[in-house]
Chain A
Amino acid sequence: RKEVEQDPGPFNVPEGATVAFNCTYSNSASQSFFWYRQDCRKEPKLLMSVYSSGNEDGRFTAQLNRASQYISLLIRDSKLSDSATYLCVVYDNYGQNFVFGPGTRLSVLP
């Protein structure tokens, strides 16, 4: 089993739609969680950290469920510019490194 798994995608949604991505992690000792966005052939960029209480940044909401070991990202009112690959990242306290999921590709269609 991979350490970090994500919805396989791709997700094709119309503008204005709400879309949710899920991510599961295997290491129960993981403490820090992040969502990164990666445009085609560009570097990943931090979208948001995921806090235990859940957090929101504009149209983006991230939630963490430690008991079930999953993280979610909700995008409301999708824009064409949201089209990208979304990477779930978990910090492994034991190995002291960041572990990336394979990413979920989103295409927002006009």
Chain B
Amino acid sequence: EAEVAQSPRYKITEKSQAVAFWCDPISGHATLYWYRQILGQGPELLVQFQDESVVDDSQLPKDRFSAERLKGVDSTLKIQPAELGDSAMYLCASSLSAGSYNSPLHFGNGTRLTVT
């Protein structure tokens, strides 16, 4: 079964440093999502791409977070500078198209970020 690839799996960084995450969705999936999940809570959307275009980044803290999907395939999420409160699991997901029963979300393994 095709998978969403994410790296790194774990990242420890000091506050005020920059950190970047990478995601490669399932081939052919036009829609890509970045979620943040704090322990004990459900994932919360940070940014959604349709191909190379941002569809929704209303919950992305744009003063420190940025995301891009330049060629409409893989994507990077960057945090600069990192803060202690950014410690969380960062999940990338993709879907064939947006939201039908035939295209549910498929998640990558996630990146667990710890900011010290």
Q: In the complex, which residues of chain B have a beta carbon less than 8 angstroms from the beta carbon of A43? A: 91, 107-110
A73 at the binding interface (Cβ < 8 Å)? no
B41 touches A102 (CB 8 A): yes
A31 touches B99 (CB 8 A): yes
A45 touches B107 (CB 8 A): yes
B99 touches A32 (CB 8 A): yes
* Chain A: interface residue total (CB-CB under 8 A): 27
B45 at the binding interface (Cβ < 8 Å)? yes
Give residues of chain A (27-55) contacting chain B, Cβ–Cβ below 8 Å: 31-32, 34, 36, 41-46, 49, 51
CA distance A103 to B44 in the complex (A): 12
B33 touches A97 (CB 8 A): yes
CA distance A36 to B109 in the complex (A): 14
Least CB distance, A43 to chain B, in whole angstroms: 4
B56 touches A97 (CB 8 A): yes
Query: A41-B112, A91-B99, A96-B56 are contacts. A46–B106 as well, Cβ < 8 Å?
Result: yes
CA distance A75 to B34 in the complex (A): 30
Binding site for B on A (CB under 8 A): 4, 31-32, 34, 36, 41-46, 49, 51, 87, 89, 91-93, 95-103
User: Could you list some 7 contacts between A and B, CB below 8 A?
Assistant: A4-B42, A46-B104, A46-B105, A49-B104, A87-B42, A96-B48, A99-B45
